[in-house]
Amino acid sequence: MTAVTVWNNCLSFVKDNIQLQAYKTWFEPIIPIKLQDNILSVQVPSKFFYEWLEEHYVKLLKVALTKELGKDAKLVYIIRMENKFGSDSSFTEKIPSEYKPKIKSQNLDASSNFSKVNLTNPFIIPGIKNLKIDSQLNLNYNFENFLEGDSNRLARSASYAVSKRPGGTSFNPLLIFGGVGLGKTHLANAIGINVKQAFPEKTVLYISAEKFTQQYVDSVKKNNRNDFIHFYQLIDVLIIDDVQFFSGKSGTQDVFFHIFNHLHQNGKQVVLTSDKAPVDMQEIEQRLLSRFKWGLSAELQTPDYETRISIIKNKLARDGVEMEDDIIYYVAKHIKTNIRELEGAIISLMAQSSFNKKQITIDLAKVIVEKFVKNTKKEISIDQIQKVVSDYFQMDVNTLQSKTRKRHIVQARQLAMFFSKKFTKASLASIGTKIGHRDHATVLHACKTVDNLAFTDKQFRKYVDDLDKRFTD
């Protein structure tokens, strides 16, 4: 009897008793190392792994091992230690794996010991439930209720193709990009839903870039960065929503880079969404951007009038509400750039009419649409602000951003910073970066200066008022 034969026998027993996916995830990576007397030593990839086995499979292992080695069987885990995080970004293959001697041995005979082991999973991802990873998908966001139009045809069909052959098309990664409320999250979920239907054995995970970042930061705090990486490397279809959130976060980008490479090399599918095309992404490392471009970047554009009408009609049909065509056309005509707002307006209309027991009239539609359209206008970008201010002072944006200290240019720049603070949610630092690479203190100073000058200088007050009008009209 050798370690290998004993372990192989155990494995076939285990395999018969648990789901295939769980078997592949948790048992295939285990390597039998040695057998001495009744003690079998096996190597597991990480501490997390060992704890997971202890928590979920210790009884099963006990039965299997007792069958092979008798009542006095013992199991020893050897944990492969990887070196500490942070020192080097290339942690995977290059690091000499140092084998630490056993950290835990369990007497398999003393069953009371097992219940005493009260292990807490150091790596709690809300997604994990009894080994089955909850995919975190929103089932309402499926292909059936994603309406096709010219604005989304490419993105939709690429997504569909990916969902039929995850990892098997050249669309890997698939990057879906486009403005707010145009259906990125919807399509990304639709891919996941279809994959799960067609390939129930595949592990699918949808996660926002923001949540991914939080988990990563937590893992660093708790000293289990490698477990974090390991977890993500087990996923077959990884969907990360809003990757622009990774901007400026180099640690997260680094860890994602490694996870991405691993998945890609192993033929796993990666789906990403972003509010901009890769060329326009800022503060994302070059090596990551170049990988984003490996597969397909598909844009979701603003829907045309016909598509907007069908989206509204589809929504009404699903909710069993009737609405006159005139009203539908009116809403579709006026809300153009954001499908979420299009739906929002329809929902408000339905709510208003049912609360107030009023007919949905065109006048009511006008009032509601106006509210939405006004709100939309406020969502102006820093780039647009710079453009408006430059136009107003008849200079180009490069001049406005330049390092010059000429007074009228400095003032224009300060006004651009002031309005960016006023009309966007951007931080002082990111406003500074966008307006000629200044720091946050410069932006703060600009805002104060504009406040003061508007108070003391009549001419300047007029600039502020004129510009304000241009932004709010």
Whether 385 and 415 have beta carbons less than 8 Å apart is answered as: no
Question: Rounded to whole angstroms, how far apart are CA atoms 436 and 445?
Answer: 15
Q: Which residue has the tokens 């891919």?
A: 191
Comparing CB distances to ligand ADP, the nearer of 183 and 192 is 183
Token code pair at residue 332? 């579709």
Look at residue 181 and give the partner it binds from ligand ADP, Mg ion, none, a contact being a CB closer than 5 to 8 Å depending on partner kind.
ligand ADP
Site for ligand ADP in 303-332 (CB under 6 A): 311
SS3 content of the chain, % helix, strand, coil (to 5): 55, 10, 35
Choosing from 334, 340, 440, 470, the residue that interacts with ligand ADP (CB under 6 A) is 340
Q: 356 CB contacts (<8 Å, ≥6 apart)?
A: none
Comparing CB distances to ligand ADP, the nearer of 189 and 233 is 189
CA distances from 419 to 114, 218, 336, 395, 440 (A): 63, 36, 25, 17, 15
Is the sign of the CA dihedral 335, 338, 339, 342 positive or negative? negative
Whether 148 and 303 have beta carbons less than 8 Å apart is answered as: no
Look at residue 311 and give the partner it binds from ligand ADP, Mg ion, none, a contact being a CB closer than 5 to 8 Å depending on partner kind.
ligand ADP
Comparing CB distances to ligand ADP, the nearer of 209 and 412 is 209
Comparing CB distances to ligand ADP, the nearer of 167 and 303 is 303
The residues pairing with 298 across neighbouring beta strands, listed in sequence order, are 176
- Quote the least distance from Cβ 165 to ligand ADP, whole Å: 22
Comparing CB distances to Mg ion, the nearer of 272 and 346 is 272
* By CB under 6 A, residue 147 contacts ligand ADP: yes
**Window contacting ligand ADP (CB under 6 A); options: 52-60, 108-116, 142-150, 285-293:** 142-150
Q: Which of 433, 429, 417 is nearest to 385 (CA)?
A: 417
Look at residue 271 and give the partner it binds from Mg ion, ligand ADP, none, a contact being a CB closer than 5 to 8 Å depending on partner kind.
none
DSSP H helix total and E strand total for the chain: 20, 12
Choosing from 80, 343, 380, 449, the residue that interacts with ligand ADP (CB under 6 A) is 343
* By CB under 6 A, residue 167 contacts ligand ADP: no
Torsions phi, psi for 319 (to 5 deg): -90, 0
Q: Which of 241, 310, 311 is nearest to 272 (CA)?
A: 241
Comparing CB distances to ligand ADP, the nearer of 79 and 331 is 331
Comparing CB distances to ligand ADP, the nearer of 75 and 345 is 345
Whether 229 and 123 have beta carbons less than 8 Å apart is answered as: no
Comparing CB distances to ligand ADP, the nearer of 123 and 146 is 146
Q: How many residues comprise the chain?
A: 473
Sketch the per residue contact string, 149 through 188, with Mg ion: x for CB under 5 A, - otherwise: -----------------------------------xx---
Site for Mg ion in 183-222 (CB under 5 A): 184-185
Choosing from 41, 43, 152, 172, the residue that interacts with ligand ADP (CB under 6 A) is 152
- For residue 348, count other CB atoms closer than 10 A to its CB: 17
Whether 42 and 49 have beta carbons less than 8 Å apart is answered as: no
Choosing from 10, 182, 234, 409, the residue that interacts with ligand ADP (CB under 6 A) is 182
Site for ligand ADP in 373-402 (CB under 6 A): none
* By CB under 6 A, residue 139 contacts ligand ADP: no
CA distances from 453 to 27, 169, 414, 420 (A): 70, 59, 11, 17
- Quote the least distance from Cβ 95 to ligand ADP, whole Å: 38
Look at residue 261 and give the partner it binds from Mg ion, ligand ADP, none, a contact being a CB closer than 5 to 8 Å depending on partner kind.
none
Look at residue 173 and give the partner it binds from Mg ion, ligand ADP, none, a contact being a CB closer than 5 to 8 Å depending on partner kind.
none
Question: Rounded to whole angstroms, how far apart are CA atoms 186 and 199?
Answer: 20
- Quote the least distance from Cβ 138 to ligand ADP, whole Å: 9
Choosing from 166, 167, 183, 432, the residue that interacts with ligand ADP (CB under 6 A) is 183
Q: Which residues bind ligand ADP (CB under 6 A)?
A: 141, 145-147, 152, 178, 180-186, 311, 339-340, 343
Binding region for Mg ion (CB under 5 A): 184-185
